[in-house]
Amino acid sequence: MAGIILKKRSTPHGVKIPESKPTGNKPIETLPFPKKAIVPLHQNLGVPCEPLVKKGDSVKTGEKIGDSESYVSAPIHSPISGEVTGFTKLIGPTTGRLTDAIIITADGRNTWEEPEAAKDIAALSRDEIIALVREAGIVGLGGATFPSHIKLSPPEGKKIDTLILNGCECEPFITSDHRIMLEYGEKILLGLGLSKKVFKPDRIYIAIEDNKQDAIDHMEELVMEMGLDRNIRIVPLKSKYPMGGEKILIKVITGREVPSGGLPLDVGAVVQSISTVKAMYDAIFDGKPLIERVVTVTGLVERPGNLCVRFGTPLREVIDYCGGIKKNVNEILLGGPMMGTSCFDLDFPVTKGVNCILAKESTPVKEENCIRCGRCLDACSMDLIPTNFVKYVKNHDYAACKKASIADCIECGACAYSCPAHIPIVEYIKIAKGELANKKRIKK
């Protein structure tokens, strides 16, 4: 029977951390679009876009303003209507690299690009769906920003028999996907139907942590009301960090283990986020490219909430809309407290990869010597030995890091959270990955 909830499942690893989700009951508000949008041309994992506009051009909301000939890229669209008044360069908080950005000054009219003629959704082919997703600039909105048209196009011979919709949202504070499930559940399921048409899976699971019981109940009810196929199952998962990691979800739900250095498609599975399939609905049913997303604004702000924000909106404007930050704030994170990235420039814009703005007070801690307690091993959901990576990096032995499968680390931070010696294990791992990537580029 469709929508049957399977027995609650969990993972033996990971950590139980305070959930701190005060915005879970805050309905989504729409932030007024900015008077000036700063739109980076690199908002996906892959190749940056080249500008399609020049200074002085008039643009409409939803008009494509950046694209790339590279397959591993995704177009950029104007989040507002107005005039291109300049170009600038920004340092991305996540990558630490310079990226070009287009400055658009709003005309106040929010005039949309004329949509294409209405499509017969039922008649769309697999290739047509993938092309529309690519043209809409959709990327993975769970945090990775991997171009979605690539995930929808597994190589020949890779049969996808399992599709998992990720509604876990396991990071503390973040509630954007939770609210999207409650407020746009029908659109999510229709977007999921598009993915189903592409992959033709045998089984579809909707994974939601049990701290969102209202979302579990709501999605189950919608599956039943909409008369969806019998192969859709809602899977409640015990709230445990980092349950939302795609390889972890696959292991917990299917029992299959993605091989070291492999991808989910190697075991016949694909994981998509709630926000991504909602964006697919917007693009294909409503003709709207990806120009906005729901962002949780939380922590030490006066009025925390969930806001629908146009890309290019400066962080300052988003925070001001929420009443501003409190006096003791000394750090702004883009993302949650476990995997978020510090951003000290409040004029930096919201991009496709920003699902949370967290204002917090950080207390410096001193790194001490490892006491070999093994807590990081217990916490690691990827069955790695995090403390060894620290030792290898301190000895500049990056070859040993590679041999110990450092590429399999998802940088969730569970190891560092568990460490009584306050060792910033993830930072050491990032150093090693950066060194290995540099050596790989030099060899090329």
pLDDT in tens, 401-417: 999 999 999 999 999 99
Contacts of 117 (CB under 8 A, 6+ apart): none
Q: What is the pLDDT of residue 1?
A: 41
Homologous superfamily assigned to 130-285: NADH-ubiquinone oxidoreductase 51kDa subunit (3.40.50.11540)
**16-20, 243-247, 384-388, 428-432: which range is least confident on average?**
16-20
pLDDT in tens, 357-400: 999 999 889 999 999 999 999 999 999 999 999 999 999 999 99
What Rg value do the Cα atoms of the chain yield, rounded?
A: 21
**Model confidence at 117: pLDDT above 70:** no
**Token digits of residue 234:** 């809602």
What secondary structure letter does DSSP report for 48?
Answer: P
Contact 205, 178 (CB under 8 A): no
Contact 296, 309 (CB under 8 A): no
pLDDT in tens, 152-182: 999 998 999 999 999 999 999 999 999 999 9
Q: What is the pLDDT of residue 366?
A: 95
Short-list 88, 105, 95, 94, CA closest to 40: 88
Only one residue has tokens 């029992």, namely: 255
pLDDT in tens, 208-251: 999 999 999 999 999 999 988 677 999 999 999 999 999 999 99
* Mean pLDDT estimate for the chain: 94
**Token digits of residue 92:** 């991305």
Q: What is the pLDDT of residue 126?
A: 96
Q: What is the pLDDT of residue 230?
A: 76
Percentage of the residues of the chain whose pLDDT score is greater than 70: 96
Residue predicted with more confidence, 91 or 73: 73
Q: What is the pLDDT of residue 92?
A: 79
| Confidence band, pLDDT 50/70/90 cuts, at residue 76 | very high
Q: Identify the H or E element spanning 235.
A: strand 232-237
- Give CA 237 to chain center in angstroms: 19
**Model confidence at 145: pLDDT above 70:** yes
Q: What is the mean pLDDT of residues 6-21?
A: 79
311-320 per-residue burial string, b: 16 or more CB within 10 A, e: under 16: bbbbbbbbbe
**Token digits of residue 217:** 């109940």
Q: What is the pLDDT of residue 8?
A: 62
DSSP character string of 153-203: -PPTT----EEEEE----SSS--HHHHHHHHSHHHHHHHHHHHHHHH--SE
Q: What is the pLDDT of residue 2?
A: 47
**Model confidence at 94: pLDDT above 80:** no
**Model confidence at 6: pLDDT above 90:** no
| Confidence band, pLDDT 50/70/90 cuts, at residue 5 | low
Q: Where are the domains of the chain?
A: 130-285, 375-443
Q: What is the mean pLDDT of residues 129-143?
A: 96
- Measured CA to CA in angstroms, residue 389 lies from 161, 179, 306, 404, 415 at distances of 35, 38, 37, 8, 11
- Distance in angstroms (rounded) separating the CA atoms of residues 414 and 14: 6
Q: What is the pLDDT of residue 3?
A: 53
Q: What is the pLDDT of residue 336?
A: 95
pLDDT in tens, 264-283: 999 999 999 999 999 999 99
